[in-house]
């Protein structure tokens, strides 16, 4: 599954046919991204796409030494289930 980062649109996307799944973010400050929304079209749900997008986005933050504000409930739950990403959460 190929995740594409679109910094000009502040999102990570997975394209499957004509459908687009996404994780949207905004820059909170120079060192922090706020992951605000994930969306997977109904036809693509149940395939782990949201988890794949979230893991990719969190790995991006980790690789770029950025903190994360997980205001999206899915992202927050994913972090709770994957302890290696907890250190990214801005306190």
Q: Which residues are catalytic?
A: 72
Closest to 53 measured CA to CA, from 82, 13, 10, 7: 13
Q: Are 89 and 78 in contact (CB under 8 A)?
A: no
Q: Give dist(CA 16, CA 26) in Å, integer.
A: 24
Closest to 25 measured CA to CA, from 9, 14, 1, 3: 9
């Amino acid at each position: 599954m190929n995740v594409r980062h679109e910094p000009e649109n502040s999102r990570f996307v997975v394209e499957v046919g004509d459908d687009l799944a996404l994780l949207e973010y905004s820059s909170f400050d120079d060192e922090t991204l706020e992951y605000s929304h994930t969306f997977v079209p109904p036809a693509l749900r149940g395939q782990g796409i949201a988890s794949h997008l979230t893991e990719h986005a969190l790995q991006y933050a980790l690789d770029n030494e950025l903190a994360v504000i997980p205001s999206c409930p899915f992202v927050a739950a994913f972090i709770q289930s994957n302890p290696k990403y907890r250190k990214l959460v801005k306190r």
